[in-house]
Each structure stands twice: as C-alpha cells, then as structure tokens.
Amino acid sequence: MQKTIVWFRRDLRLTDHPALRKAVDNGKVLPVFILDTANTRPLGGATKWWLHHSLASLAKSIEDRGAKLHFYAGDPLKIIPELCEKHDISHVYWGRQYFPDTIKRDTQLKADLQNADVEVESFNTSLLREPWEIAPKSGPFYKVFTPFWGACLESFKQETPNLPKSAPSQIDGLSADSADLAKLDLLPTKPNWAKGFTEHWEIGEDAALKRFRAFAEDRIYKYNNQRDLPAVDGTSKLSPHLHFGEISPRQVYHEVADEMGTDKGLDTYMKEIGWREFGYHLIYHIEDFATKPWKEQFENFTWDHDDAAFKRWQQGQTGYPIVDAGMRQLWQTGWMHNRVRMIVASFLIKDLFIHWKEGEEWFWDTLVDADLANNVAGWQWVAGSGADASPYFRVFNPITQGEKFDPKGQYIREFVPELKDLPNDLIHKPWEAKNSDLLLAGIELGKDYPKPMVDHSKARKEALDRYNAIKDQ
C-alpha cells in the first residue's frame, strides 16, 4: 500500500486539496506541517498568530477524519527525507509555491527524494492559473494587469479552473513522533499584543467559507460602489483566508462563475482575485522583485532615514487623521482597509520619503494577510517602481482622500477617538479648527492629538522634485 507524506504549506484546508485527495485515494497518509526555520525571511508576528489558529483548526478537521497532523520545526530539506526513511514513505506530495528561494529549495528536495527512490509530485493548490500558463504573444510575461487579467478570463473560456473536490470523509493516517502545536511557539505572550485580534476574526476552513458566502449573498454586488469606503463593511476580508489557503481561489471562482460578466460589483471583486494572481505572476518572473525596485532608475532615488518619523507613522501619530486611523486599525486588528493601505503607503513614501521596503517590512510583521507577492506588489505599485505601477507623480492627498472616502469621519472616529467630537468638515484637518471648536471637542493639538508632522503641499513638491531628478535615468 502507498504511504504518502502530504506536506501542508499555504493550503491549510481539506476541500479542493488535490495533493491530499490523491494521497487519500491511494493509501495511507502522513499529514505534515513544517515551520521552516531555514527560510531567509522569518514569518511576521501577526502571520504567526493566525497560523497557530489555522493549524489548530486544520488539525481538528484531520483528527475528525481519523488521522493526525504532525508538527515540526526546522529545515524541510532534512526533516522530510528523515521521515521518509524512518516510516518507509514511498511518495511525497505538496502544493507549489512560487518565490525564488522556495522554488530553489523545492527543486533540491525533489532531487534528493528521487535519489532515495521516493516519488514526488507537486500540485497547484493556491492559484487559478500557474504563473507560466498565462503568457503574452511577445515577451516572457505580462507587465500590465489589464491584459494579464484579460488573458486569464479568455483562458477560463477555453479551460475552466479545476472544479474543487470535496474534503475526504476519512483519512487513513500514519503516525510519527512530532511536536505539539504549542511547541512551535507561534503565539505572542509577553506582551500578548494580539489579544484584541480574536474579536475581529474567525479562523479556519469553515470560517473562510462562511465569510465568503456571507459576502457573496449580497455585498459582492455592491462591491464596486463600497470597496473604497473604509467605514462600510463593503469588502470580503477574505485576504488572510486566501493567504493561508483556508479557501482556494478556485472555490471562489466556481461560486460566482455563472454570474461573471453580468454584474459590475461581482466582476470588480473578481478583478481583485486577479490582482492576487498578478502578484504571483510578477514575483515568479522577476527574481529580485521582493527586494529591489523593478524600474532601475528608482535605485538612485534619494530616500531619508528618519527613525523618529517612521515610528510616528507606525504608531498612527502623524497628525493626518486618515493615515493615523489606518495605522491604528492595523495594530488593533491585524488588517487594514485596502484604500487606506494606499493612503498610508503614499504618505510614508511621498510625504516622509522613507523607503518602501521599510513600510513593506512593517506590513509583513503586522498584517494577518502578509502575503509576500501581494505585499511587495502593492508597495512597489504605490512607489511607482513596480510593474503596472501607479506613476510616482500620483501623490495621495491624505486630506482629500479622507474627505472623499470617509466623508462623515466614521472610520476616523472609530480608530482615532480623540477626534470624535469634531464636526465632519474639520475631522480630516483638525489644525484648521478654531480654538472654540477644539475646546468644544476637548482637544488640545500637540497634546491630545499631534499637529501634522509635515506640510503635505510642500512634501508633494519635494517628492516631485526628487522624482524629476531620476526619471530620465
């Protein structure tokens, strides 16, 4: 009888899991999760918090089907071959990942296992299309989103993404010595800075499907009108579930496929799924995309190194209410509304002149959906240095952005409560309030809430001057 290791990675579910399904259909299964301590980029704190709870949910689902999820920490290049030898494993299956370091490691592991007469197979468990499956007629890969997504949609007409298979009802499991989940030390303790996260999230495969179906029942049809309003529950908040693979994009696609092309809100939402695919497309084809600007002239951009300014941005103490609301939402919930992500990123890059990598690394540590491909793609988009990037001269005005997308100040009042008693016309620019207005609101600028740390109009001019110095290089 075939004995197979199924190595769970960013596919922490049982439904639509082709590696697990094939292993279950062919014999006994050793389900494994490895906390990769050999990875050159350790997981961020918020990611680890979510991962702990996601693994606990997955372990319970596997246990309910008669098997056990085994936990390890270390280098997969060592752990998996040792497990194969010790337990007479004949096959190893895993879901593919698309980052340069991971591809290199997986290629080496596959060769090592095959040399030991272990059969290896990898599967697409996280994308609608593999990065190499969507290619332009000229050039190696798409560098602009719109034709990329158009090509994806056309490919779906020719061959629809695989229909998700249901979770197995039983798993004939193998047993091995392994650590308890708690031994992976994923949860913060002293201090437990994530204690407020639990009121905002349900985690695991069942929670992911529940969240998506609630969104798809109604809000998806309003998505194009509500997605930019941070005070409105207008988005799916599915990003962490997709990142950890608690739900697959194929499941999302097949839930709505029959209505694609008939509703603007639904189509706009599916474009966001397409942007996720595009991020993986870029990071697969551009080897140093995670570490360097894709547009080489940005290597010569003049950045400032200001630890005090960066700390004020991190803590939501910039003096610009929409920026501060976003940064505080991030710290309190592990998530930030997408429109506000663009605003706070633009402020860091184009008002404070701090390198996008510093912001990307902070998001990596604090977002529960800290996906390398999409995090980097988003920051490079705002910086103007990536593929299909927003032009650098597009500088988000934090005042007008707040007035447009949070006109009544509801989002600001939730996350910057010291401003809650200011009227709507002043809440986005409290420095323009009269002393009488501030007194009525119980605010002393510079004490209860900071004065603006920079003059945006002057910073915008400086940003454009710095860009003009490198744009022709």
- Domain spans in the chain, listed from the N-terminal domain onward: 2-125, 127-162+205-285, 296-468
The whole-angstrom separation of Cα 243 and Cα 343 is 23
Structure tokens at 32: 């494994």
The residue annotated as part of the active site, out of 119, 121, 133, 272, is: 272
The residue annotated as part of the active site, out of 7, 50, 201, 356, is: 356
127-162+205-285 against 296-468: fold identical: no
The residue annotated as part of the active site, out of 259, 338, 403, 424, is: 338
**Is residue 335 among the annotated active site residues?**
no
- Over the stretch 376-397, which tens digit does the pLDDT of each residue have? 999 999 999 998 888 888 999 9
pLDDT of residue 214: 97
**Is residue 193 among the annotated active site residues?**
no
**Is residue 275 among the annotated active site residues?**
yes
Q: Mean pLDDT in the chain? A: 96
- Over the stretch 205-261, which tens digit does the pLDDT of each residue have? 999 999 999 999 999 999 999 999 999 999 999 999 999 999 999 999 999 999 999
Number of Cβ within 10 Å of residue 246's Cβ equals 27
The whole-angstrom separation of Cα 20 and Cα 400 is 50
Structure tokens at 15: 């439904």
Q: Class of 127-162+205-285 per CATH?
A: mainly alpha
The residue annotated as part of the active site, out of 362, 379, 381, 397, is: 379
The residue annotated as part of the active site, out of 7, 94, 149, 275, is: 275
Q: Class of 296-468 per CATH?
A: mainly alpha
CB 213 within 8 A of CB 254: no
pLDDT of residue 35: 97
The residue annotated as part of the active site, out of 303, 414, 424, 462, is: 303
pLDDT of residue 392: 85
The whole-angstrom separation of Cα 151 and Cα 136 is 8
Structure tokens at 401: 């952005």
pLDDT of residue 472: 76
**Is residue 356 among the annotated active site residues?**
yes
- In tens digits, the chain (473 residues) has pLDDT values of 899 999 999 999 999 999 999 999 999 999 999 999 988 789 999 999 999 999 999 999 999 999 999 999 999 999 999 999 999 999 999 999 999 999 999 999 999 999 999 999 999 999 999 999 999 998 899 999 999 999 999 999 999 999 999 999 999 999 999 999 999 999 998 889 999 999 999 999 999 999 999 999 999 999 999 999 999 999 999 999 999 999 999 999 999 999 999 999 999 999 999 999 999 999 999 999 999 999 999 999 999 999 999 999 999 999 999 999 999 999 999 999 999 999 999 999 999 999 999 999 999 999 999 999 999 999 999 999 998 888 888 999 999 999 999 999 999 999 999 999 999 999 999 999 999 999 999 999 999 999 999 999 999 999 999 999 998 77
The whole-angstrom separation of Cα 63 and Cα 310 is 45
Kindly indicate whether the domain formed by 2-125 is annotated with CATH number 3.40.50.150. Answer: no
